[in-house]
Amino acid sequence: MSLLRDTLAGIVPADRAAAEACRRRWDAIAKPLHSLGLLEDAVVRVAAMMGSPDVDLSRRAIVVMCADHGVVAEGVTQTGQEVTAIVTENMSKGASSVCCMARQAHAEVVPVDIGVARPVAGAHILQHNLMRGTRNMTKGPAMDREVCVRAIETGIQVAKELCGRGMTLLGTGEMGIGNTTASSAVAAVLLGTEPGTVTGRGAGLSSRGLDRKVEAIRRAIAVNRPDPADPVDVLSKVGGLDLAGLTGVFLGGAACRTPVLVDGFISAAAALCAVRLCPAAGDYLLASHVSAEPAGERMLRELGLVPLLRANMCLGEGTGTAAVMPLLDMALAVYGQMATFDEIEVEAYQPLT
């Protein structure tokens, strides 16, 4: 049995009894009912994932899948793909945006070279390169199906290894010039919508550049005819190695009953692929923020997720996941440390009818 099939078979729905026990604990805490709103909901959701109302998110890592995209040849980006390698190596040095934020969130950043166009060096980079960037998807499939499956399995392997080291929370991120083009193509196919409605300016395209980007996606879909009922087909034809790797991280986290934070639009596109492959994997997702990309909100709705943060962020790298980790810590401080109504001998609040 392949790692992908084995992982899909091993994902079970979240534990509703644990969620109910967690909610009862929240309702017993000496404060107005549900007064921490989405923060309470997030802890309840995590309890269901872990199968216990005793929630611990103290050990966390942000997995950043790094890969290049052949579609940059169509003029769909503001910068060249050499930036992918530079930022990947900066992550190994702790010098990228997500690294600065992760230090404040007490999270480990794990950069993975799954498809960077040139070799990258750094002690903290996981070396799993499968291709030196995808092919230009406007001319044919971005990668072979077999390579796509290997990329998904790489993500599964990374997630399972981190969980095996004791990580209790995973964040997701990516680095790859051109990956908003691939993500928009994946979103257009999976949502069954016109590319122009899900495609944004990415890292800062002009209006002319945006037109080129939308047109490139239309051509890629027309040339490859990806099957929306087959997420692997979609990823291999119009996706990217980073997206496939992240799909695997979501699946691997779910198989380990570990919560996985969705970052922005690109991460959400990968999450949607994971959920289409295994609906139960959706039980193990938390939305960190809503991306400023045009389809950011729609992707979260499709996943049935509500973002914890709205900050008009569109940086990527997993920065959104780092940003919400301290919020979860504060929620857990109240959940684990605050007295109950019984302990302070005060009548409990009653739910409104």
Kindly list the catalytic residues. 317
Nearest to 50 by CA among 249, 283, 231: 283
Residue 80 three-state SS: coil
- φ and ψ at 194, to 5 degrees? -70, 135
Within 10 Å of residue 140's Cβ, how many Cβ atoms?
A: 12
Alpha-carbon torsion, ordered 209, 212, 217, 222, to 10 deg: 180
Q: Are 157 and 3 in contact (CB under 8 A)?
A: yes
Say how far apart CA 49 and CA 173 lie, in whole Å. Answer: 21
Residue 156 three-state SS: helix
Say how far apart CA 292 and CA 313 lie, in whole Å. Answer: 6
**Which tokens is 180 given?**
């908003």
DSSP state of 195: G
Say how far apart CA 328 and CA 171 lie, in whole Å. Answer: 13
Instruction: For strands 126-127 and 60-67, give the pairing.
Output: unpaired
CA distances from 71 to 94, 128, 154, 276 (A): 29, 21, 23, 25
Rg (CA), the chain: 20
H-state helical runs in 165-206: 179-191
